[in-house]
Structure formats: structure tokens, C-alpha cells
Amino acid sequence: MLLDNIAAAIDKYSNSVRIEGYTDNIPIKTAQFQSNWELSTARATNIVHYLVDHQFPAEKLSAVGYGQYRPIADNSTEEGRQKNRRVDVVMLSSSGEQGEPSADEPPPGKK
């Protein structure tokens, strides 16, 4: 499976990995997803859960949802909207990791 190949490739490095979820610009409002924010975040967290369930180190992972706000294609066509419904796996550089919370850092408000 593609995710297994990605996990094997990125596991060779000590860098943190951010999973980024995106949507097209068509608003969603269902019982499960109140907005594109929730949908994009769910896409990212589903990948995080898969990787952790397959022995990828959880402390190296973070998830973020960008909704429809960072398109890579034109949302006026079905083809463009399809490209915008995606998940990106981003390996962070050392400087990029500085903005990510560490595994031994307490959650905000719990210091």
C-alpha cells in the first residue's frame, strides 16, 4: 500500500513529519463534518492513525487541517477540485521542527 511505502521512506529519518489535510472549496455541513476545517483535519488525522497503527513513531507526527484555503488547482473545475481534496506528507527540516510541539512538552495551558 502507498502509505506503507511512505512510512518506510520517512522512517529512515529522525525528522518530524506533519500530515496536512485539504479540501476543495465546496462547503460541507454534515453530522460528521460541520465544515471543511473538520473534513481536512479528519483526512490528516486518519493518516496519522494509520501510521501509528503500523508502528510509525507517534512522537514524530503532527496533523493539521487547512480546509479549502490552500488550493493547488483551480476550484472552478471538477478536475481542479479533485486535486485540492488531498493529504500532504511533509517532512520537516530542523528549523521547521522548531515550530512543532515536542512530545515531552505539556499541552498549551498545562505548563
Per-residue confidence (pLDDT) for residue 105, from 0 to 100: 56
pTM of the model: 0.84
Per-residue pLDDT at 96 exceeds 70: no
Which domains are present in the chain?
2-97 (3.30.1330.60)
The pLDDT tens digits of the residues spanning 41-78 come to 999 999 999 999 999 999 999 999 999 999 999 999 99
Per-residue confidence (pLDDT) for residue 36, from 0 to 100: 98
Q: How confident is the model at residue 98 (pLDDT cuts 50, 70, 90)?
A: low
Per-residue confidence (pLDDT) for residue 50, from 0 to 100: 96
Per-residue confidence (pLDDT) for residue 1, from 0 to 100: 86
50: closest CA among 86, 19, 84? 19
For the chain, give the percent of residues with pLDDT over 90. 81
DSSP string for 3-72:
HHHHHHHHTTS-S-EEEEE---SS----SS-SSHHHHHHHHHHHHHHHHHHTT--GGGEEEEE-TTSS-S
User: What mean pLDDT do residues 26-50 have?
Assistant: 97
